[in-house]
A and B are shown apart, each in its own frame.
Chain A
């Protein structure tokens, strides 16, 4: 199971995490145990969409979640975000059970979900407005975050004046506004063109390295999952179960050239095998 080539410098306890999933880990920031989600169908039978899934996430990890469509990747993210209720199991963060949205978690959705009547800066400041924080301070922080995502010059623009990639960058800055320890990202670059997507991948790696956040990132692109992650969680088809956990030790400094390297190919091949074996990829 372990594919460790070299310890990743950005993670604190690489050794303990290279073990099998669900393993008890005292340093875990987020602990998911026996998590299940099922829905009641029209004929009153229950359909399980996800789980049971168990997973320990350490502080500072970049975990990507891949799986076939409908495997419950987004459901897993929304459960951790506290946006939907679980059917069984537990999710805890820093030892406390998660029930409902948490202050320590920032969410980036599939689409940017910007408010069209607010400027880029005002959109970034939305979490501060909700929490009624000091306006001058949150303004300064908003500008700083727009700088982090490379949009300083666009602070006063409205969303309809920004490109899709820029809008998603505003959404990322917004998720960082209240300085959450964890960032949950649900296929944030799915709607972007290939070129923009690649540059966004490089950028999110940089933001992760600079901010020291723990990131959970859902994607259906295997290369994207490998490029971004310190660890890839591979889910099987519905009901989503953990098919594999792959430690990606490609180093902290990653350029797009890495995609064509042999080591990169080993990871993508391994993940793709899970899907091919089950006939989930044509």
Chain B
């Protein structure tokens, strides 16, 4: 970004354009994004004060900020966020491993696909939130039931993308491997899997965000800890500002995971045109 700006200013100087105009064009997003935030927050604060809306209905941003600072200072948010993040990531990791393995088996064999397909459709079309109470019965109020919930919710986006990615391998590359007398496993390892990686990452992107959703739903149904649990408690106490502060923590967590995945994708799938990968 800095290099591009410098280049544009230099180009402007050479062609005799006004440098300020070039600077504005290069940086207008950088200026407008925080500006929009300030305007919205300011309006929110102003309207709440002007209409004298009670704190427990909609809190003003200033109250949310105070809740956030207090919660972070006391370690309340951090300890609960750590629980939720652990549940989400463990569920996500488990789902990723199983979905990639199962998706590979399905993509390799029509037989496996035909046998499993009806069951996969049945599971996928069932609203997974509806089975959350059962997990509490089976796996208790602890972290396990949430890990499984997070895993189940993030499983299908990965599975679908693994199968689609592996199926869409360039047929010429497969023919090349046949001409080299490569085994099925070699073709899979050297050509199909790397070819599918951009698609698989698109699935992982969706899934990692879904895993937080799964963990929160699990916590809502029955839990002792976690940000979902905290939100429920604060709601009972009509601590609306606290609920909003917890939501800020959740979205920060989501944005961070998204950026980590983005970074990972650029490292792993370094050859792909990242503008053409869906879900990024």
> Which residues does chain A contribute within 8 Å of B177, judged by CB atoms?
130
**Cβ of B233 < 8 Å from any Cβ of A?**
no
Given contacts A116-B271, A158-B271, contact A101 B179 (CB under 8 A): yes
Contact of B180 among A111, A117, A130, A158 (CB under 8 A): A130
**Cβ of A140 < 8 Å from any Cβ of B?**
no
Given contacts A117-B271, A158-B271, contact A107 B179 (CB under 8 A): yes
- Per the 8 Å Cβ criterion, residues 150-200 of B in contact with A are 170, 172-173, 175-182, 186, 190-191, 194
- Per the 8 Å Cβ criterion, residues 223-276 of B in contact with A are 270-272
> Which residues does chain A contribute within 8 Å of B272, judged by CB atoms?
116
Q: How far is the CA of A162 from the CA of B180 in the complex (A)?
A: 23
Given contacts A158-B271, A160-B271, contact A126 B180 (CB under 8 A): yes
**Cβ of A52 < 8 Å from any Cβ of B?**
no
> Which residues does chain B contribute within 8 Å of A126, judged by CB atoms?
180, 190
Q: How far is the CA of A209 from the CA of B95 in the complex (A)?
A: 56
Q: How far is the CA of A126 from the CA of B177 in the complex (A)?
A: 9
Given contacts A113-B172, A158-B271, contact A81 B194 (CB under 8 A): no
Contact A130 B271 (CB under 8 A): no
Q: Which residue of A lies closest to B175 (CB)?
A: A83
Contact A115 B191 (CB under 8 A): yes
Q: Which residue of B lies closest to A111 (CB)?
A: B172
- Per the 8 Å Cβ criterion, residues 67-83 of B in contact with A are none
Closest-CB distance, A234 to chain B (whole angstroms):
26
Contact B173 A115 (CB under 8 A): yes
Closest-CB distance, A85 to chain B (whole angstroms):
12
Q: Which residue of A lies closest to B170 (CB)?
A: A113
Interface of B is mostly: helix
Contact A127 B180 (CB under 8 A): yes
Contact of B181 among A115, A116, A130, A160 (CB under 8 A): A130
Closest-CB distance, A191 to chain B (whole angstroms):
13
Q: How far is the CA of A83 from the CA of B190 in the complex (A)?
A: 19
**Cβ of A269 < 8 Å from any Cβ of B?**
no
**Cβ of A109 < 8 Å from any Cβ of B?**
yes
Contact B190 A81 (CB under 8 A): no
Closest-CB distance, B193 to chain A (whole angstroms):
10
> Which residues does chain A contribute within 8 Å of B175, judged by CB atoms?
83, 109, 113
Q: How far is the CA of A118 from the CA of B194 in the complex (A)?
A: 10
Given contacts A83-B175, A130-B186, A158-B271, contact A115 B180 (CB under 8 A): no
**Cβ of A129 < 8 Å from any Cβ of B?**
yes
> Which residues does chain B contribute within 8 Å of A101, judged by CB atoms?
178-181
Given contacts A111-B172, A117-B271, A126-B190, contact A83 B179 (CB under 8 A): yes
Given contacts A109-B172, A127-B180, A130-B186, 14 further A-B contacts (CB under 8 A): A83-B178, A103-B181, A107-B176, A107-B179, A113-B170, A113-B172, A113-B173, A113-B175, A113-B176, A117-B271, A126-B180, A126-B190, A130-B181, A158-B271
Which residues of B come within 8 Å of A, CB atoms? 170, 172-173, 175-182, 186, 190-191, 194, 270-272
**25 A–B contact pairs at CB < 8 A?**
A82-B179, A83-B178, A83-B179, A100-B181, A101-B181, A103-B181, A105-B179, A107-B176, A109-B175, A113-B172, A113-B175, A115-B190, A115-B191, A115-B194, A116-B271, A117-B194, A117-B270, A126-B180, A126-B190, A127-B180, A130-B177, A130-B182, A130-B186, A131-B180, A158-B271
Top 4 A-B pairs, shortest CB-CB distance: A116-B271, A107-B179, A130-B182, A130-B180
